[in-house]
Amino acid sequence: MQIFETKIHGLKVIHPKVMNDNRGYFFEVFQKERYQRLLGIDYEFVQDNYSRSFKNVLRGLHFQQDNPQGKLLRVVQGQVFDVAVDIRKDSSTFGQWIGIILSAENNKQFWIPPGFAHGFLVLSDVADVEYKCTNYYDPKSEKCLLWNDTTININWPITNPILSDKDGRGKTFMELL
């Protein structure tokens, strides 16, 4: 397993060790002690989520203001453009974002610590995304950052995504923070 730092402190891309042979492949998706040690975290994961979405669906950018969640993400089927926006007010990268391609083919995982807004755009016909969370879902604390906020200026590979009503009514960075 290899861990790659990003330009934003705390965000990490994980390349698990994949063992291939003529039967297919195998890799360890999560092992608590190893992940905690290699990521340099001591969070406990308390909830696993799984979503299926179709091409051009954009989910996010979601975060919980009072009970923030760290997320360990991977794509089980398909391909997504996954984005994390730093909303930690005391961070030197406050308001900056990272976007990476996660796919069933590349097996990459994305560690997003608490303090980030998160979303993804489906690039394939269908995508199944699985993620572990460090805190329970709290609908009273949930907020949505507008996907195309010009202050953040995310370079999405689409101009007219399919959005939920909630995501379409997201707030701008300046309104939220």
Burial of 83 (0-12, 13-18, 19+ CB in 10 A): buried
Catalytic choice (43, 62, 136, 137): 62
Sheet holding 97-103, edge to edge: 97-103, 79-86, 116-122, 58-64, 142-144
Name beta bridge partners: 99: 83
Contact between residue 96 and residue 6 where contact means Cβ atoms under 8 Å apart: no
Contact between residue 98 and residue 11 where contact means Cβ atoms under 8 Å apart: yes
Catalytic choice (35, 43, 118, 131): 131
User: Residue 62 catalytic?
Assistant: yes
Q: What are phi and psi of 43, to 5 degrees?
A: -70, 150
Query: What's the rounded Cα separation, in Å, for the pair 116 and 63?
Result: 7
> Which amino acid, residue 173?
F
The one-character DSSP state at 150 is T
Contact between residue 86 and residue 94 where contact means Cβ atoms under 8 Å apart: yes
User: Residue 43 catalytic?
Assistant: no
List residues with catalytic annotation. Answer: 62, 131
